[in-house]
Structure formats: C-alpha cells, structure tokens
Amino acid sequence: MGEAMAQGLMSKKLLSSKSITVAEPRQERRKELEQKHRINVTANNREAAQTCKILVLSVKPQDLDGVLAGLKGVLQPDQMVMSIVAGARVSTISRGLAHSAIVRVMPNTPAQIGEGMSVWTATPSVRKDQLNQARIILQALGEELYVNDEKFLDMATAVSGTGPTYVFLVMEAMVDAAVHLGFPRHVAYRLVTETMRGSIIYAIKSGKHPAELRNMVTSPGGTSAAALYQLEKGSLRTVLSKAIWAAYERSKSLGEGKSPSSDINDINKAI
C-alpha cells in the first residue's frame, strides 16, 4: 500500500521520486524499490522520520507497536503522521509516538491500482494546509471521504475497507455457477466481471436507486423474478447485513486490542 501511494503520487506528478523516502527493513526489497522508482531508501525508520514533512505508517498491525516504540519522541510538532494501519486508533498512534498531529485512514485494496475508496479523519492538531496535503495524497489512491469522528472509521472498515472481500466472494460464486451451467471458466470469468463492471458504472451514471434498476429488468414471470425469488429465500440481504455488522464489531474490538478468539465467541453468542 505504501508503494501504491508513492507510485500514485509520482505518476500524478504531485511528488518527485527524490522527495520520497521509504524505510524498509529488508535489503532486497529496498534495492527493488530504489531501482524501480528511483526513490530514497533507508533501513532506519528514525532517519526517515526525522527529515520528512509527512510520515506515512504502512506496516502490518502486528508490527505497529515495535515501529511506534522505535519512533517515540523523534517527531517535531509541525510534522504530520498519516496511518493506514487497519484498526490502529488515533490515540494508540499518538501515545506511541508522543505526537499529536495524526491522520488516520481506512483505504481498501483497489487503492493499489488507484481505484480505492479511503475514509479518513484527523486530530485537531493537524493544520488546514496539512489536511489539504493529506487529501491530495489520498486522491493518489482513488476516491477519499473525510469524516469528523473516528467512530465512522470502524463503520467504513466494515463497508468500504472490507467491502472488496464481499464483492470477490459474490464474483467467485457467480463464476462457479456459470461453470456449473457449462461455460469454460475463462468465459465464465469474463461474463461475470464485465457484467459487474458494467452494472456498477450504469448504477453510478444513471443515479437511479438500485431497486429501480432491478425492477426495470424484472419482467412478470421472467428470469430475474425467478432468480430474485431464490436470492430472497436464501436471505441474501440478511446474510450481507450480518456480515457487515460482524466486520464492524471486529474492527471495534481490534481497536480495543481484543484477540480474534474472544470476538468470535461474542459473535457466536449473538447469532
């Protein structure tokens, strides 16, 4: 994700390669990044943090504590920190770094090709010009939405952050169903992905409510009506709603530092 962000900023000519420094522990990865993008690389997080205007935290959640501990007290008040680490609260980052200007972002996987949806918030210490810089950086990953309360990030984690997973599962199920009918897999894949792509663009461009678009193609006694009957009978809407709620609860527990097992027990009790 860090590489996607740097790539997006460079391809949109918002930053030159020489104004980006990546701190990366693995030597072969540093070499790869340096050769591919001509950016500065270092193995030393503190060295990168000391000289930058904006510090982007893009490590896995399990590596965050160690990284924060190593950077504690290094930053000056006028530097801004932008974290895309899933589930990491602003208070955790702020305490861990002893720094108050924090932007927290929930991106999603399509950001890796500049088609992402990022939801973000900032602490009151982030200046107006820094808010604009944060927005420009996130626009390099696709669309962005600022929210004024961190609670919306847990909700966004369940909807847009985890959202691609739901889409990929539906995509996979439709491809398998088309193969079941008799299409070769590559044909099934093309039919499904092009149908999904076209339907989404059509829904966005038409501005119509999804139910209206669906009703337009549901003729009395037709194929859509027969398929919709089975989808409703199988409780598709309820299952999706429960899945999104479970992701929301999980996101909140991750932020509180709870383990996955305690959370699964809670969910099992609730179902």
Ligand X SMILES: NC(=O)c1ccc[n+]([C@@H]2O[C@H](COP(=O)([O-])OP(=O)(O)OC[C@H]3O[C@@H](n4cnc5c(N)ncnc54)[C@H](OP(=O)(O)O)[C@@H]3O)[C@@H](O)[C@H]2O)c1
- Which residues contact ligand X by CB under 6 A? 1-2, 23-26, 29, 45, 58-61, 63, 66-67, 84-86, 107-109, 111-112, 161
* Comparison of 34 and 183: residue with beta carbon closer to ligand X: 34
At its nearest, how many Å lie between ligand X and the CB of residue 48?
A: 9
At its nearest, how many Å lie between ligand X and the CB of residue 50?
A: 15
Query: Residue with the closest Cβ to ligand X?
Result: 86
At its nearest, how many Å lie between ligand X and the CB of residue 8?
A: 13
Identify any residues that bridge with 56 across adjacent strands, giving them in sequence order. Answer: 82
Residues 6+ apart with CB under 8 A from 219: 225
Secondary structure element (H or E) that encloses residue 260, with its range: helix 260-270
* Comparison of 45 and 188: residue with beta carbon closer to ligand X: 45
* Comparison of 69 and 217: residue with beta carbon closer to ligand X: 69
SS3 90: helix
Report d(CA 66, CA 44) in Å as an integer: 13
Name the amino acid, one letter, at 11: S
* Comparison of 190 and 252: residue with beta carbon closer to ligand X: 252
Report d(CA 191, CA 178) in Å as an integer: 9
* Comparison of 74 and 203: residue with beta carbon closer to ligand X: 74
At its nearest, how many Å lie between ligand X and the CB of residue 86?
A: 3
At its nearest, how many Å lie between ligand X and the CB of residue 228?
A: 32
Residues 6+ apart with CB under 8 A from 19: none
At its nearest, how many Å lie between ligand X and the CB of residue 6?
A: 11
Give the alpha-carbon dihedral of 212, 213, 214, 218, to 10 degrees: 90
* Comparison of 6 and 188: residue with beta carbon closer to ligand X: 6
Taking alpha carbons only, the member of 168, 202, 171 closest to residue 188 is: 171
Residue 44 phi, psi (nearest 5): -105, 110
Residues 6+ apart with CB under 8 A from 141: 4, 5, 8, 107, 111, 114, 116, 118
At its nearest, how many Å lie between ligand X and the CB of residue 79?
A: 17
* Comparison of 86 and 175: residue with beta carbon closer to ligand X: 86
